[in-house]
Structure 1
Amino acid sequence: MKVAVLDITGKDTGRKVELSKDVFGIEPNNHAIYLDVKQYLANQRQGTHKSKERAEISGSTRKIKKQKGTGTARAGSIKSGVFRGGGRMFGPRPRSYSFKLNKNLKRLARQSALSIQVSDENVVIVEDFNFDSPKTKNFVDVLKALNIDAKKSLFILDSENTNVYLSSRNLKNSKVLKASEINTYGVLNANKIVITESSLEGINTNLSK
């Protein structure tokens, strides 16, 4: 499929690029998308949660009442989780939530995400651009020219571009990634995907079979 190439002022350059059907035109696999997004969100979790258990509570170690004859349950420690101020029973411990997915499934998920955005006409191809210096105003001007300043946007560049990245960093609704950093969550979380012309080759290389 062919898509028109725009410049950063939003005007048609008169050129068109061919989007690979193997990357941008497949039948989306919803389960692959689910697993990849689940892994991405799981990897964001710090897993540093911790509560004190009975062995970590400060308190008396004496037996608080006699074993028999009280008519209530036996109790040997005030630090037990059944008493107020005692340790938490089966509380959270530090752990990693990350899990592995195979490379082919992750590739399928990202192809599916891009295909969904293309079919919904949410992908814009622009010619390569750069700024002389990092300025948020320059990036905002690009968003307004492309008529996406009120939308959540994802810019995909061919390589690391410090000026463009720093210009976008203060904008909570815009994110800039390299072609090698594409992830399923980021693609689907954006309302508009802006792909630079030179980054298409990198996307095709990374996501083609």
Structure 2
Amino acid sequence: MAVVDVLNSKGENVSQKELADSIFNVPVRPSILHDVVVMQLACRRSGTASVKHRSDVKGSTRKLFRQKGTGRARRGDIKSPLLKGGGSIFGPDPRSYAYKLPKKVRRLALKMALSSKYLENKLVLLDRFDLDRIKSKDFVAVLNALGKKNVLIVTDEKDEKLELSSRNVPGVKVLRTEGLNVYDILRYDELILLESSAADIEGRLTK
């Protein structure tokens, strides 16, 4: 079993906890992590790039000049793609870049991301995150006691004091277990799990 020290908000060791090897001690395959991160970033793309085609351009449909007898090339209306201000022919239209990998692959990648933090000794387990008020200064004081800067904090339920106190602190993100994902785990140097959130993660990923 993967054994991790449980710390309090002052950075003191209060106990130890065994984590499931099937979740926190899985062999890491970078190719799977890469595939899932690329999928997540593709799903986040806005896909709003757009041009006006001939039917979208405002203008008259009147033929500019007669078909024959002028010596010029044949012209239709002013919205022709060949004229300045006319419609675009092959420009982009709004689209979705989202796609899905198999559920088993996504679950495996999440286990690998968690395991990578444990194997690199970048996983910290807290008994609870004590904040008496909504204050960024108090939040930063806890991080300093733990010796952490660039960190992802995972909670099992809504904690308004923690979420509001951390939102203006650079290099920090607070996430609930239902929103836990591979990209955010790998993006931050350190991972802090509350003891209750670790149990919640094990419950979700062992089903």
TM-score (norm 1): 0.87
Give the drift of 1:65: 5.2
Q: Which moved more, 1:90-99 or 1:4-13?
A: 90-99
> In structure 2, what is the equivalent of residue 193 of structure 1?
191
Give the drift of 1:36: 2.1
Residue aligned with 1:80, SS: coil
> In structure 2, what is the equivalent of residue 11 of structure 1?
12
Q: Which moved more, 1:55-64 or 1:114-123?
A: 55-64
Q: Which amino acid aligns with 2:106?
A: K
> In structure 1, what is the equivalent of residue 151 of structure 2?
153
Q: Which runs of 5+ in 2 are unaligned?
A: none
Number of equivalenced pairs: 206
Residue aligned with 1:36, SS: helix
Structure 2: how far apart are the matches of 1:131 and 1:120? 28
Structure 2: how far apart are the matches of 1:87 and 1:183? 42
Q: Which amino acid aligns with 2:195?
A: E
Note if contact 2:9-2:130 (Cα within 8 Å) is conserved in structure 1: no
TM-score (norm 2): 0.88
> In structure 2, what is the equivalent of residue 62 of structure 1?
62
Structure 1: how far apart are the matches of 2:39 and 2:56? 33
| Alignment RMSD (CA, Å) | 2.2
Structure 2: how far apart are the matches of 1:73 and 1:24? 71
Give the drift of 1:183: 0.3
> In structure 2, what is the equivalent of residue 33 of structure 1?
33
Matches within 5 A, 1:101-116: 101-116=101-116
For each residue in 1:134-158, what CA deviation from the matched residue of structure 2 results, as whole angstroms up to 9, or x when unmatched? 1111111111111113xx2100112
Q: Does 1:179 align with 2:168?
A: no
Cα separation, partners in 2 of 1:72 and 1:180, compared to 1, 3 Å: same
Structure 2: how far apart are the matches of 1:38 and 1:96? 14
Structure 2: how far apart are the matches of 1:163 and 1:71? 77
> In structure 1, what is the equivalent of residue 165 of structure 2?
167
Determine what percentage of the aligned residue pairs are the same residue: 39
Give the drift of 1:67: 4.9
Structure 2: how far apart are the matches of 1:40 and 1:28? 19
Q: Does 1:23 align with 2:23?
A: yes
For each residue in 1:150-185, what CA deviation from the matched residue of structure 2 results, as whole angstroms up to 9, or x when unmatched? xx2100112221111111111231111122221000
Note if contact 1:180-1:202 (Cα within 8 Å) is conserved in structure 2: no
Give the drift of 1:91: 2.2
Give the drift of 1:35: 2.9
Give the drift of 1:68: 6.2
Residue aligned with 1:92, SS: coil
For each residue in 1:39-86, what CA deviation from the matched residue of structure 2 results, as whole angstroms up to 9, or x when unmatched? 322232333332211111123433345656888764423322232211
> In structure 2, what is the equivalent of residue 204 of structure 1?
202
Q: Which runs of 5+ in 1 are unaligned?
A: none
Residue aligned with 2:55, SS: helix
Give the drift of 1:97: 2.4
Cα separation, partners in 2 of 1:61 and 1:137, compared to 1, 3 Å: same
Q: Which amino acid aligns with 2:36?
A: D
Structure 2: how far apart are the matches of 1:73 and 1:154? 64
